[in-house]
Amino acid sequence: MCSIAANHTADSQLTDLRSSGDDNRITKKLRNFAQDSTIERAGYLDTSAHHLRRMPPGLQNMRRLRAGRHRVFYTGHHSECSYLVFFIKEFTKTGFSDEDDRQFQRLLASALEDQTKKRIIRESDEEETRKMDA
C-alpha cells in the first residue's frame, strides 16, 4: 500500500472545497487509490490514462486525475510507493446555474474551429472544375 500526501497549495485548495464536502470525497478517493498500489504492483494512479501528453519541460512527470468535475494534479509512482498531490483545479459550484456550464459549448466551438484547419480530402466539384480551368 502506497502513501499519498498533499502539499500546502493542494491542501489550501482542498480547504476551499470543504463547504461542499468535496474535500472529503476527493481525499477519500485518493487515499483508496493509493492503497491499491504497491511497490510491486501499479495501481489506478499509475495508469496511462492520467498521463498528459506534450507537457512543457518541468511539468512532464505530472499526472492528472479526474475526480468528478475537479482535476487533481499529482506526481509519484508506485515504484516509489509514494504520490504527492500538488494542485487541484476546482470546478466552481455556484449553485443554481451550475448546470448551465458553458464548457461543453466552448469545447465544441474549439473543435469546430479546429476543423477548419483540417486537410481538404476532396474539393467541391465547382472548385475542382475551377482549378482545372485555371
Partner 1 sequence: MITQENTGFSLQTADIDRVLRQLSTMQSAAQFVHLFSLCSEATGGYIRLKPEHRFFPVLIGDGNTVIPLYEFVEVLDEVLDYDLLLKELPSLSYSHVGGALAFLRRLAQTNPANIDLDQIEDDEMLSSPAFLEELRTALADKETSLVLHRG
CB-based contacts of 87: which residues, under 8 Å, 6+ apart?
9, 10, 13, 72, 73
Q: Shortest gap between Cβ of 134 and partner 1 (angstroms)?
A: 16
d(CA 32, CA 44): 10
90 lies in the site for partner 1, by CB under 8 A: no
18 lies in the site for partner 1, by CB under 8 A: no
104 lies in the site for partner 1, by CB under 8 A: yes
DSSP symbol at 51: B
DSSP string, 71-98: EEEEEEETTTTEEEEEEEEPPPP-SGGG
d(CA 18, CA 108): 32
d(CA 104, CA 65): 19
Q: Which of residues 29-68 bind partner 1 (CB under 8 A)?
A: 29-36, 43-44, 47, 49, 52-56, 58-59, 62, 66-68
How many residues interact with partner 1 (rule CB under 8 A)?
65
92 lies in the site for partner 1, by CB under 8 A: no
Residues within the interface to partner 1 (CB under 8 A): 1-12, 14, 22, 25, 27-36, 43-44, 47, 49, 52-56, 58-59, 62, 66-70, 73, 75, 81-82, 84-87, 99-101, 103-105, 107-108, 110-112, 114-115, 121-122
